[in-house]
Chain A
Amino acid sequence: MVGPEDAGACSGRNPKLLPVPAPDPVGQDRKVIRATGGFGGGVGAVEPPEEADEEEEADEEEETPPRQLLQRYLAAAGEQLEPGLCYCPLPAGQAGAPPPSAAPRSDACLLGSGSKHRGAEVADGRAPRHEGMTNGDSGFLPGRDCRDLEEARGLARAGGRESRRRRPYGRLRLEGPGDEDADGAGSPSDWASPLEDPLRSCCLVAADAQEPEGAGSDSGDSPASSCSSSEDSEQRGVGAGGPEEGAPPATSAERTNGGAEPRLGFSDIHFNSRNTFQVSRGQSARDHLPPAGPPVPLPAAEQGPAGASARARRSGGFADFFTRNLFPKRTKELKSVVHSAPGWKLFGKVPPRENLQKTSKIIQQEYEARTGRTCKPPPQSSRRKNFEFEPLSTTALILEDRPSNLPAKSVEEALRHRQEYDEMVAEAKKRGVSVADREASLELIKLDISRTFPSLYIFQKGGPYHDVLHSILGAYTCYRPDVGYVQGMSFIAAVLILNLEEADAFIAFANLLNKPCQLAFFRVDHSMVFASVMKDIKEGDKNSSPALKS
């Protein structure tokens, strides 16, 4: 229901764009664009096969995408909890320079296509992509990186994955951003931002995971190797995505855009966003763009029939540029968002690399490693804040090669970083959530749903919000397998459900739990909780209670 409606709204914006399933190579660019264009829409665009339907659907429904995403998450959780959907093994982002460039693309695309793609994304969401969802989650973060890498490399495959991922974004964003679209890009960006951070982290994790598994040694030894590994993973992912995408022919517009060429253009855009700050801006811009996307001045050529899709894509790129100027305030918001950005990718639903499915443990490890690592300096700072409790968090970049403009690591340093990384991985393993744990989480969710505000009689089995609550909690478990479900979350989600639409509720929920304090609590990270409490106490002492000082 909602989906169709939303789609309608979306359709108004860029229904055509969404459906466009470009060829693998093209698809990447297009997908990227789509994703960038609309939070929701971008994702939808990713999947080519459903495009036509999606377009229609998109036109009809915008809201559905987020819901679909959630559902997908849930489905994914049910089916693939273990694989760590969110963990896309995409190290590309981490890889460094190449990925950043790619990232900008995706952002740009998302921005531009956002509004248009929403509808498409929604449609996509409707389409059965549950697998994609899970994968998508992981894919999101990695996806971008991969995309970037691919773009840099000129890979066509990446497109497919990206498109999927993007769709999820679009969906999620759609709901939240949907309103925002009308208002402006700002609101969407806000939503996205919190999510993005997790996603990014996920991406990073994925990369980490990959490294540990096999490439890890390489990456550790040489940052470059890590990058390559990530790229490979991305490529893999892309390849996986490609076929799928290929199946669903991209919209005419997308096709017209052509695979390679569009990519290049997009890639440029993405490059801009790569840096955390830039990315954040880009994202925010993108976010803004989706809503603003349609209004955003598109090149005349783009405006053509196929142009619609092109517009969306480009609009993403343009959006990046314009957004900054048009939405300076939002940009700030975006920055803030960027810090907590992980969520983005989740929403984006970047299709996880099916080939790269990792065990939950691996995923966790990767995730933690990721948190520790940060490809981008700005993100690191934010991450550090979020993960102060994690040991060696500052070593996020450990395995990363240094930028070419900085002196390379010495052998000793590289070895030490390698060791630190191994320690982080080991720590992550300790904390790591096993598949069994995740399954247990799902069981527990079932148990707790009916125990949530029982006096209201709306969350019990058969109640109107039983399934919604289940979906959101399950989706979050997929979204953040490192956190999973913790008793008590159901009440937070329930309160949000009572006040927001499902998709919005999920986004708000994910973002809320991404706050350092909440995250620390739900991870039952005593050291972090203790640290934060002590910090508060110290601050309090300074302000008022001298007695405490002594």
Chain B
Amino acid sequence: MAKAYDHLFKLLLIGDSGVGKTCLIIRFAEDNFNNTYISTIGIDFKIRTVDIEGKKIKLQVWDTAGQERFKTITTAYYRGAMGIILVYDITDEKSFENIQNWMKSIKENASAGVERLLLGNKCDMEAKRKVQKEQADKAFSSLARDILLKSGGRRSGNGNKPPSTDLKTCDKKNTNKCSLG
């Protein structure tokens, strides 16, 4: 049988607890959203196949638990990841500050040269924004090749474009990098 995909990319979502990693992954894989996400325990994953430039890309996105306690578990998945998405909550400054810790964790556990993507979630809550985009740009300018994008996990109201689009884009780029790399 022919393979159902041309490329398989393993992506990993990391970030503080409650920033919306699970929301993102579900939005990405199933394109829906609800308010009843539960805390991820240990690790989970979703799969989505996308077409990029005529090729079927199977994305295996691993969703990790944000709690520090699970780090020993989640770090085991760093090495196999081809791309790591760092997620923070734009309404939670601490989650942004902790990105540095997550970066450190990547450095320690992930394979060298892994693609990294910084993602500010909950852009639909602009009124409560605590982390300005410029901050992120400046703080992580070192992530030259990476994309900084803000994503709103939920539809904040009628007419608002689902953030899933942004995430797709980001993943596409990431996958491209992976494929190129």
Contacts and interface: CB of A to CB of B under 8 A. Distances in A.
Interface in B1-43: 17-18, 35-41
Interface string A444-455: 100110011111
Majority-rule SS of B interface residues: loop
Interface stretch (A42-50, A280-288, A328-336, A484-492): A484-492
B35 A454 contact: yes
A345 B49 CA distance: 55
B41 A487 contact: yes
Contacts of A500: none
A447 B19 CA distance: 10
B72 A488 contact: no
B69 interface: yes
A447 B18 CA distance: 7
Given A454-B35, A487-B39, A487-B65, A447 B17 contact: yes
Given A524-B73, A526-B72, A444 B38 contact: no
Contacts, number: 45
Contacts of B36: 451, 454-455
Interface residues of B, number: 16
A453 B69 CA distance: 21
User: Quick one: which of A448, A452, A453 has the most chain B CB within 10 A?
Assistant: A448
A448 B35 contact: no
Nearest to B73: A524
Nearest to A440: B68
B18 A524 contact: no
A515 B39 CA distance: 23
A488 B65 CA distance: 10
A524 B70 contact: yes
A484 B39 contact: no
Contact of B69 (A447, A455, A487): A487
Nearest to B39: A487
User: Quick one: which of B17, B37, B67, B70 has the most chain A CB within 10 A?
Assistant: B67
A487 B70 contact: yes
A490 B41 CA distance: 11
A422 interface: no
A444 B17 CA distance: 7
Interface in B44-81: 65, 67-70, 72-73
Nearest to A523: B69
B35 A488 contact: no
Question: Which interface class (under 10, 10 to 19, 20 to 34, 35 or more) fits A?
Answer: 10 to 19
Contacts of A452: 38
A437 interface: yes
A487 B17 contact: yes
Contacts of A484: 69
B78 to A, nearest CB: 16
Contacts of B69: 484, 486-487, 522, 524
B37 A451 contact: yes
Interface in A183-208: none
Given A451-B39, A452-B38, A454-B36, A444 B67 contact: yes
A432 to B, nearest CB: 13
A434 to B, nearest CB: 10
Nearest to A456: B36
Contact of A437 (B37, B40, B68): B68
Contacts of B37: 451, 454
B36 to A, nearest CB: 3
Nearest to B94: A443
Contacts of A451: 18, 36-39
B39 A488 contact: yes
A454 B38 CA distance: 8
Nearest to B76: A526
Contacts of A491: 38
A455 B37 CA distance: 9
Interface in A473-522: 484, 486-488, 490-491, 522
8 contacts: A437-B68, A440-B68, A447-B18, A451-B36, A454-B35, A486-B69, A490-B39, A522-B69
Interface of A: 437, 440, 444, 447-448, 451-455, 484, 486-488, 490-491, 522, 524, 526
Nearest 9 interchain pairs by C-beta: A454-B36, A488-B41, A487-B39, A447-B18, A487-B67, A448-B39, A451-B38, A486-B69, A451-B39
